[in-house]
Every structure is written in structure tokens, then in C-alpha cells.
Amino acid sequence: MKSSALREVAEGVVPKSLISHVPRGFEVVGDIAIVNIPRQLENYRFELAEALLSRFKGRMRIVVRRVSPARDPNRVHSYEVLAGSGGLETIHRESGCTFKVDLSKVFFTSRLQYERIRVARAVRRGEVVVNMFAGVGPFSIVIAKLVQDVKVYSIDINPDAYKLMVENIRLNKVEDKVIPILGDAGEAIDEHGLRGVADRVLMPSPEHAFNYLAKAVEALKPQGFIHYYDVANPKVSLYDHLNLRVREGLRGLEVRWVMRGVRAIRSVAPLKVYACADLEVERATSRP
Ligand SMILES: C[S@@+](CC[C@H](N)C(=O)[O-])C[C@H]1O[C@@H](n2cnc3c(N)ncnc32)[C@H](O)[C@@H]1O
């Protein structure tokens, strides 16, 4: 949420000399506010969070901060509760969809809302989509809600994310369009007969996508699209970086590919942005 609210509440809590360190925005997932506390405001974090909570009484239940980058292989973050109570399970609504999430068990961010819509708008009626890193299902479900006659195979390795994805599919009434699969994305493509079926493959996990690029190609029909996610340095040309990474990831495979677009999605740390490359891919088998 881009808002001056945090700055406003900070005025009663933080010395004037430190106000410029108060972040301009904070993230909202359901009734959970996730704030960033810079080093300079460490001693004021609880009062700041209490003030924010009382400002949004009735809308926010709890204020937390992420305590470390998610080192967990399933990208689950650790959180410190700064104000409020009741745990990290919540119902988040975006783009006409409802997602049940539990931040203590799964990865979820509301900051990808625009990216989910952008990808969903690229999907055409009747497509088969494989989402290799689906989490609780937000990309898959937004696509299913927006596009007619789609089939989205939605894979995640985290059993908690899988359980919530199953629930979210039901909550959003897209059981006929989204097929949840629990397991490793690479193995699932082999074991669930997903080789050569997809018009489009989504790889929305910047930390894992590179190692699975070849597998994504295997899931594609002779021609199709891959939405490839990676981590980039904002000081380096995004196009050059992604081009190099994709070339490396696809080295040795008989494919032709074109990068149709690149996009910086969000900054996650100093000198670290999440980015996406939209690839159009043609496998050699499609050539006579
Ligand atoms: C950054 S999260 C993204 C989740 C989801 N796309 C979203 O936007 O909310 C990455 C997800 O990939 C899953 N994951 C990690 N390794 C995996 C693997 N080998 N196969 C399938 N899923 C995996 C994690 O459990 C996690 O839910």
C-alpha cells in the first residue's frame, strides 16, 4: 500500500529528525500489514506498529515485519509480530479472487498483483498452461477467472502451499480449470504426462526458474511461451542479463527462442530486483 499513513502515524511516535527514514508504503495481505523497519527506527518499531494498527482499526488485525530474506527452500519468510495478534493466516482478496494464505507456512506477496494480471491477460482462450511454482495458486487462479476454457496445471512442492491451493481452487470455483499437483516441478511434468502439452509455462520463482528452464521447454508444445523469472542487478541492463541467463539455461537444447519482453517487477534488496522475461519458444521437433 503506497500511503502516507505510516508517515502520519510516525509523527506522534518518532523524533522529527528520523521521520525521513519512515518508509512511504507498506504491504497488505488480507488483514496483515507488513512493514519494513529501517535500522534507524529499530527502537520505535513496536510503537510505530501500534499506531498503525489503531489508525486502521477494523481493517488490520496484526502488524509484522519480515525478519530475514527467505532462506527456506520453499521461500517461506520468518516474521516478527510488532502489534496485534491472531497468527499469520488470513484471507486476501485481489482481482476478484480470494486467497487463503498462512504466511508462517507459505510464500505469498500482494506485490505481484499487477504481474499476475499482466500474465493472465496474455493467456488466450483454450490454452493449456503449466505453472511450475504455483504456491497457494494466485497466478493459476487469476488466469482461470479471467480466461475461458483454460486448463492450468498448478504445481508446488510445499505440502502446506498445496493444501491452501486446493482450498483456494474451491473457494474461487475453478475446479474445472485448475489442476493442483503436489511435488517437484520437474518430476511432476514427467509423472503427470505434462510433456509437450503446454501452450504456456509459468516459472514464477526467481530462485528456482533457471535450473528448470530445460524442463519448462519439455512441457511446451512444439511452439509456446515461457514466462521466465530471475533475480537481476538494476545497474546491469535487464535485457542483457536475462538474455544471457536464458541462453545459458537453454544451452545444448534444440530450440529457437525470442525474448518478447523483459520487465523489472520489484526491488527486493539493494541492487536486487525480481524480473521477468517473456519468451516465445519453438522446439526443433516442429521443423520439418
Ligand atoms: C517465490 S514462491 C512463488 C509462489 C507463487 N508463484 C506466488 O506468486 O505466490 C516459489 C514457490 O515455488 C515452490 N517450489 C520451490 N521449489 C520447487 C520445486 N522444485 N518444484 C515445485 N515447486 C517448488 C515453493 O514452495 C514456493 O511456493
Task: Give the domains, in start order, of the chain with CATH numbers.
Answer: 5-87 (3.30.300.110), 109-286 (3.40.50.150)
Report which of 178, 237, 236, 184 is spatially closest to residue 208, judged by C-alpha positions. Answer: 184
Q: How many Å lie between the centroid of ligand 1 and the Cα of residue 112? A: 14
Closest ligand 1 atom to 155 CA: 21
- The set of protein residues with a Cβ atom below 6 angstroms from ligand 1 is 74-75, 107-108, 112, 133-135, 138-139, 155-158, 161, 184-185, 204-205, 208
> Among 30-34, 70-74, 86-90, which stretch is predicted with the lowest mean pLDDT?
70-74
Average the pLDDT over 55-65 and give the result.
96
At 137 the three-state DSSP class reads: coil
Q: How many Å lie between the centroid of ligand 1 and the Cα of residue 21? A: 33
For 196, 223, 247, 249, 256, the CA distances from 287, given in Å and listed in that order, are: 15, 10, 20, 22, 11
Beta strands 97-102; 89-94: pairing state: antiparallel
Instruction: State which of 95, 157, 168 you would mutate to test the pocket of ligand 1, scoring each by most atoms of that ligand within 8 A of its C-beta.
Output: 157
Q: Predicted confidence band at 286 (pLDDT cuts at 50, 70, 90)?
A: very low
Q: How many Å lie between the centroid of ligand 1 and the Cα of residue 134? A: 6
Q: How many Å lie between the centroid of ligand 1 and the Cα of residue 205? A: 6
> Among 19-28, 71-80, 114-123, 129-138, which stretch is predicted with the lowest mean pLDDT?
71-80
What is the pLDDT at residue 74? 76
Euclidean distance between CA atoms 110 and 116, whole angstroms: 10
Distance of CA 138 to the CA centre of its chain: 8
What is the pLDDT at residue 268? 84
User: Please, where are the H alpha helices in the chain?
Assistant: 5-10, 45-55, 113-122, 138-146, 159-171, 185-191, 213-219, 238-249
Q: How many Å lie between the centroid of ligand 1 and the Cα of residue 204? A: 7
Which residue spans within the chain are E strands per DSSP? 27-29, 32-34, 62-66, 79-84, 89-94, 97-102, 128-131, 151-156, 178-182, 198-203, 220-232, 255-269, 272-283
Q: Whose CA is nearest to atom 4 of ligand 1?
A: 135
Closest ligand 1 atom to 207 CA: 1
Q: How many Å lie between the centroid of ligand 1 and the Cα of residue 38? A: 28
Residue 232's beta-bridge partner residues?
273
Are 201 and 219 spatial neighbours (Cβ–Cβ below 8 Å)? yes
What is the pLDDT at residue 277? 98
What is the pLDDT at residue 285? 62
Q: How many Å lie between the centroid of ligand 1 and the Cα of residue 288? A: 37
Instruction: Read off the pTM.
Output: 0.94
Residue 155 has pLDDT above 80, yes or no: yes
Report which of 186, 232, 234, 214 is spatially closest to residue 279, judged by C-alpha positions. Answer: 214
Instruction: State which of 77, 103, 107 you would mutate to test the pocket of ligand 1, scoring each by most atoms of that ligand within 8 A of its C-beta.
Output: 107
Average the pLDDT over 28-42 and give the result.
96
Report which of 223, 76, 53, 196 is spatially closest to residue 135, judged by C-alpha positions. Answer: 76
- DSSP class of residue 78 equals P
